Structure 1
């Protein structure tokens, strides 16, 4: 009997201990506080998680990427930055990238209209991962040295670009006015070539305009737009108004080797040419996010031809696609670069920055630009010409545009006489 009572007591004691143990497990335990470095990594992860265009995050479990990034102790700011870069690398998107505080400040300055360096717009080739020239800025040291769109930069000052981010490569090419930078360039069908480029101040004068007369006597407004900075729309509007007063009856808008810039500038410039119509759609991971419309009146209804080539990228492609799809312009030249992704810039808690691909562009007829580019109405290959030969008899694409506009003027003239 005594033995039976002992067992009963033991059961009760054991039950009580189990209840206490389970109750203790239910009480929230104090979580291990995240370090400042871990907080920064988590901050980046959350921004990408909320905003990134590809909801599959390059077909991977994005939560496990965060877990892996925080597994190892991050003992310094540099270690946190490296963890962030590795995390973003898994997305396989060169445009979603981390910017340290210096790079972030530099990127903010670059849209203001003046740079110091060699004057190259660069990108990472999505197929090969190589650093590629989108276009040299008109009149820049790189342009004068003969560097061309689609050239691949293999080395900067003897350092391989294979493992450099876009911002690291750009930082290596920037420097004091008058200093020299050596670039090893690979070009299709040509041996590797070394270019020695002297850095200089690069004035980003976005518009060149001139009234010309075709051989048939048509007054022609020639406009060359070099990039889409904050001044581009206003400068182009002034140029069009001036050419209208001088009697221009047709226009050529030269977007060759224009690497883009501010989206808003591209939209505003499209509105200068359109009375109405959609300019561009933006599409995020939920679908069509919004559209930008023209609301007129256009500054001119005269015939327009746009010149494009492989160096025509980003905002240039939006403008060209908008005017082509709306039947406002014919495109002449070569298929464009194919950069149709939208990045948003986020400032992080320590003064660094994060560029995230949040959406893509579609033309008014819902054509996807990214990696595909825009095909001209008339494809005209172009032999290599100097900047001085642009818009001359040596410029085959320009001559093709003049021919189209001249025929158009004849048809219009016959229609008026009838």
Structure 2
């Protein structure tokens, strides 16, 4: 049977923010089960990691996340949603650069200590970088005598390294990244989040010599103009080949729902800004997205889910489709349905409204071997209840009730898109969140911090 680490995928960098189908690929090491996701692409189980069990954070991730809002008092463009995207992108870019020996190219974003830590992991081509979980664990808005802010982010990830022709190895990693940024630095606009240029003037990175941009003649490291990783701690790194068969027990389903203490106030503000906002219509759209994803996954017609998922989320699960195909397996979900939805968090900034719900669902989940139809995981008869936290995003400028039908959110024509998710009728990018709510993030119960 082919190892999923040998799967050739078109996207080198994939960000794992989750996916709600019921299949359960796992990683096995020394008899201990490590989840790649209870459902496909849904993230690592921190409860299964010996390292994770030893951690005792001084502040809960949800509390740290909420405290970031203070940045908007002097940086009106700051967006937690965009910071999420930036951190995911930089993590993948850094490990890819490590594999090609190009870490110095990212000097404006990775300090000397951070680059040295990454370099010690070896220079072998890195592909399929998947972030399974990301947690904000510490934040100091008054660092360096009030001249800077410091932020600590913990990543759980997997990636593949290639040692030679036909020789590759998948790794699980848990890393703690310490960021710093000057208080006078300002946030990037959404269209620049994944653009790696001089953070001062936008010149190409090849114009950076040491820590100085030869175009604008400014020292651009140390967080002077953008977030810079000051140091990295590798808490764990171990070789673990992915296994797509077997059955794992749900974790966290019975945990109490984690509500942001300000969620009702935030909902009231959204309702005031957009009187046409309707929870009923939003839930109908979430149901439509859920059922579209289940059908797309089981039929391997994954492109049909693209209009409702951000590009990152879509590409992540394209990876898992490829992995199952490579191992000649098919994960099937039947009778999948949502039984309850709770709104737990709403974050609004200049660019986006990001609304998180806890989704309670159930359904049949099993995996078949294509060659003979044998059942190799799950059950054809016993339904599997589960819960997850879904985050949907929409432009902060958009108003109106959510659409619960498969139609273009801009022109209303039947959904028919190009490979770039552009409507064939009006030409807009339908999964950008500019016109309606799209799914951007899914987190498991046991890792969701509020």
- What range is the shorter-chain TM-score in? under 0.3
Q: TM-score, normalised by structure 1?
A: 0.28
Structure showing the higher helix proportion among its residues = 1
Q: TM-score, normalised by structure 2?
A: 0.26
Structure having the higher Rg:
1
